[in-house]
């Protein structure tokens, strides 16, 4: 369980840094084009598409994850439970990362500042859904022995 949790934490950190870099690169590239941001009003459809796609993908990932937790056998060993936890987190993180990328690229295409803000907000949500031992205990309904084993990780 210790190695699974450490790998999950390292993966989350990598995804967060990668997402920040991509949104930052889109912003920098857009600022270098024509010396600043000149919104293209013909592409306002992205103002609707970005948040709707972000909410829909996050809701789907969250729903699929909750169903996996419900199907998880309470007598399964801790490693199997932690692998389910990691898989569910990967679903949520990939949903949020994809939404941030879509927002960053949409900002680059259109120059609409709201799209950049959507990308930054999904980045903050990505940081919020970091792997926590307390969240793992709650979501996996770990018993006292399993909780103690998980707490032994550094």
Both structure tokens of 65: 């994850």
* Confidence (pLDDT) at 39: 60
Q: Given this model, what pLDDT does residue 35 score?
A: 55
> Given this model, what pLDDT does residue 60 score?
92
CB distance 139 to 69 below 8 Å:
yes
d(Cα 24, Cα 29) in Å, to the nearest integer? Answer: 9
Sequential pLDDT tens for the chain (154 residues): 677 778 888 888 888 888 888 888 887 877 776 555 556 666 677 788 888 888 999 999 999 988 888 888 777 888 888 888 899 999 999 999 999 988 888 888 887 888 888 989 998 998 898 888 888 888 888 888 888 887 776 5
**Relative orientation angle of helices 45-71 and 113-128, to the nearest 10 degrees:** 10
Per-residue pLDDT of 17-30, as tens digits, reads: 888 888 888 878 77
- pLDDT score at 61: 92
Q: How does DSSP classify residue 1?
A: -
DSSP string, 35-75: GS----GGGTHHHHHHHHHHHHHHHHHHHHHHHHHHHS-TT
Note the pLDDT of residue 41: 61
């Amino acid at each position: 369980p210790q190695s699974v949790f450490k790998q999950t934490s390292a993966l989350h950190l990598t995804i967060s840094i990668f997402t920040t870099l991509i949104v930052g690169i889109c912003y920098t590239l857009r600022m270098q084009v024509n010396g600043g941001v000149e919104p293209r009003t013909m592409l306002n459809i992205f103002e609707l598409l970005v948040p709707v796609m972000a909410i829909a993908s996050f809701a789907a990932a969250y729903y699929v994850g909750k169903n996996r937790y419900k199907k998880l056998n309470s007598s399964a060993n801790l490693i199997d439970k932690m692998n389910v936890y990691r898989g569910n987190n990967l679903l949520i993180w990939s949903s949020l990362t994809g939404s941030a990328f879509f927002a960053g690229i949409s900002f680059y295409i259109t120059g609409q500042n709201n799209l950049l803000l959507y990308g930054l907000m999904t980045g903050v949500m990505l940081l919020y859904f970091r792997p926590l031992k307390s969240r793992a205990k709650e979501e996996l309904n770990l018993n006292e022995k399993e909780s103690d084993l998980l707490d032994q990780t550094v």
